[in-house]
Amino acid sequence: MERLIERCAGLDGHQASVVACVRIHETGKRATQQIRSFATMTSDLAARRDWLAAHGVIHVGMASTGVDWRPIYAVLEGQFELIVGNARHMKTVPGRKTDIKDAAWIAALVCCGRRSCRSAWCAAD
C-alpha cells in the first residue's frame, strides 16, 4: 500500500481500555510505530489525546464498536481528523485478533488514506 499520511494513529477501544498505535513515516527512513494502552476514564482519555498530539499526529482512525468509541471520539474531536470505521468489516480480516494488532492495522489503513469503511478493511491487506 502506498503511504499518503506521514503521522497517524489507530485506536482499538473497548469499555475498559484503549490501545493506541502511532505510525510515523519520515522521508528516507523506515516507518516506526509506538503502541500504548490507556484506561477509559476522562483523565486517561485526555492523556491519550496529549500523547497523540506530542507525536504530531493529525489523522486518527478507530473502529465503531458499540458505543465504546463515542467518549474516545468526543475527547479527540476538534483536534484531529477523525475516521470512524465499521468494526464488523474489520473483523473479517483474518489473523488480526488482538487489540495491539487491530490498532496497528487501523493505523496502517489511515496512513494509506483509506477512508471508506468497507473498502478499507477489505482492500488494504
Task: Please indicate, yes or no, if residue 69 is contained in any of the structural domains.
Answer: yes
In this predicted structure, which of 20-24, 50-54, 107-111 has the lowest mean pLDDT?
107-111
Report the distance separating Cα 49 and Cα 11, nearest Å.
Answer: 11
Kindly list the strands in the beta sheet with 32-39, ordered across the sheet, starting from the edge strand earlier in the chain: 32-39, 17-24, 7-13, 59-64, 81-86
Mean pLDDT, the chain, integer: 81
| Structural domain range at position 46 | 7-123
Residue pLDDT, tens place only, 41-64: 999 999 999 999 999 999 999 987
User: With pLDDT > 90 as the criterion, what percentage of the chain qualifies?
Assistant: 41
Would you say residue 36 lies in a domain? yes
Q: What is the number of structural domains in the chain?
A: 1
Rounded to two decimals, what is the model's pTM? 0.81
Residue 25 confidence (pLDDT) above 70: yes
Question: Residue 8: pLDDT above 90?
Answer: yes
88 located within any domain: yes
Tens-place pLDDT, residues 86-97:
777 666 556 657
Residue 1 lies in a domain: no
pLDDT at position 86: 77
CATH number at residue 102: 3.30.420.10
Please tell me which residue, 45 or 65, carries the higher pLDDT value. 45
